[in-house]
Structure 1
Amino acid sequence: MSRLAGKVAIITGAAQGMGAAHAKLFIEQGAKVVLTDLNEEKGQAFAAELGENALFVKQNVASEEDWATVIAKAEEAFGPVNVLVNNAGITMAKNILDITVEEYRRIVEINQVSVFLGMKTVAPSMMKAGGGSIVNISSMNGLVGGAVGYTDTKFAVRGMTKAAALNLAPMGIRVNSVHPGVIATPMIVQEDTKAAVEEFSKSIPLKRLAQSEEVSKMVLFLASDDSSYSTGSEFVIDGGLTAQ
């Protein structure tokens, strides 16, 4: 049985990587999916590959105007939105002494403000649909320390998730966060970092990296009615790293 049959979903940062894996699984499970990304060429090609139940919309996730456009196009193409996956984000690995204010503000805009805008903008559409599920992709660094900028914003996503869950529960809208560990994306396992990543994987209790599809299955659970009584919670998928 299709777990997302009849549902309309928006997934940000879905032209490649984990966002693309989420979109592919959602389509397979019966959803109509609006994929957003700044990479228009890859996004359009991927949506065409997924078929008639996929629509690509170019989006700057830090733009309030772009969010309004995405919601309007989703409703025009497929109807009110049932699911939002706030997946888009960037990384940064600079010391606090080296990061500039401009760099800091940029990562806050993309990783944190975008999640606020997405939740605020999609809620009225979900109310029209009779409820919905918002899945915010944080990180294991939303639970433990890491790089300044990245860690700060991922902790913020965790906090916003809890606050928004309380705000939106009366409207039948659930909000949860997902906290991936190290995922075997092309960026992580490229040749110049492959050896270091393989060495690091030995420190993971499960002794391996996660595959994007494993994270997608967690996101699917939260998007579906299978998680109907879960809201305001963290769902960790890190192979045991934060349990140590």
Structure 2
Amino acid sequence: MNRLNGKTAVITGGATGIGRAAAKRFIDEGAFVFIFGRRQEALDAAVAELGPNARAVKGSVSDEADLDRLYAAVKAERGTLDIVFANAGAGSPLPLGKITAEHIDETFDTNVKGTIFTVQKALPLMGSGGSIILTGSSAGTTGAPGFSAYSASKAAVRNLARTWAEDLKGTGIRVNVLSPGATATELAKEALGEEGQKAYGAMTPLQRMADPAEIGAVAAFLASSDSSFMTASEVAVDGGLAQL
């Protein structure tokens, strides 16, 4: 398929996991992709794998100057932008009673402030037909023990799409949320181990964790004109975890 032929995309958190899988799928479908992340080594490895239709920009979504550099690079090479996949996210467990201000700031700086400025700074390069995709989480719907800040931040992301769909009326730009459940990214595999992956997988009706490529496939659908009558929506790609 070439649903994204000629399109230009930005993917934050694009060097590994869901972001990298989405970048691969976007390029396979004809897009030119800028991946954005904090680790140069991971970015270099991703670009080496993704090929000539990928570029990498190092930076953090919580740093506005870094985002300015990202979009300056997009404008210089491509002129305009069609797709923003605001995928960068952070979260770590800290149960109620032990939550700190630093923990809240770290989580919300990336997941909420970072998402807001990733999108806001992209808008001058976007026009009718543009697609904005925000990475939510099943935890934003169900909650997750010990993940108060993370779950609340992802609930906020869900509301951003609803609000922005109103703000973007008349522009022809759509905004939707892609909400994964447990996904077998490199980081998750390392953190959970084989037994942990089985335990998380057993929580879903499909009895397994998602492959990042399965999330990337849905991101490509939301990026393409196949989803042209969708905005303010949330697409759950969670193996049924938050649906039952």
- Does TM, normalized by the shorter one, top 0.5? yes
Question: TM-score under structure 1 normalisation?
Answer: 0.95
The equivalent residue for 1:145 is 143
Q: Kindly state the Cα deviation for residue 191 of structure 1 after the two structures are TM-superposed.
A: 7.7
Deviations 1:50-99 (A, max 9, x none): 22211100111011222121111012112200000001111111112112
**Contact 1:189/1:197 (8 A) holds in 2:** yes
Query: In the alignment, does 2:207 pair up with 1:207?
Result: yes
The equivalent residue for 1:3 is 3
Percentage of pairs with the same residue: 36
Report the aligned-residue RMSD. Answer: 1.4
**Contact 2:5/2:30 (8 A) holds in 1:** yes
The equivalent residue for 2:29 is 29
The equivalent residue for 1:220 is 220
Task: Tell me, in whole angstroms, the C-alpha distance in 2 between the residues paired with 1:203 and 1:37.
Answer: 30
Task: Tell me, in whole angstroms, the C-alpha distance in 1 between the residues paired with 2:229 and 2:62.
Answer: 30
The equivalent residue for 2:112 is 112
**Contact 1:180/1:238 (8 A) holds in 2:** yes
Deviations 1:132-184 (A, max 9, x none): 00000010011111211100110000001110111113111100001101111
Question: TM-score under structure 2 normalisation?
Answer: 0.95
Runs (4+) of structure 1 exceeding 6 A deviation are none
The equivalent residue for 2:132 is 134
Task: Tell me, in whole angstroms, the C-alpha distance in 1 between the residues paired with 2:199 and 2:61.
Answer: 35
The equivalent residue for 1:154 is 154
Unaligned runs of 5+ in 2: none
Q: Kindly state the Cα deviation for residue 193 of structure 1 after the two structures are TM-superposed.
A: 3.2
**Contact 1:8/1:79 (8 A) holds in 2:** no
**Contact 2:71/2:122 (8 A) holds in 1:** yes
The equivalent residue for 1:168 is 168
**Contact 1:177/1:234 (8 A) holds in 2:** yes
Q: Which amino acid aligns with 1:99?
A: I
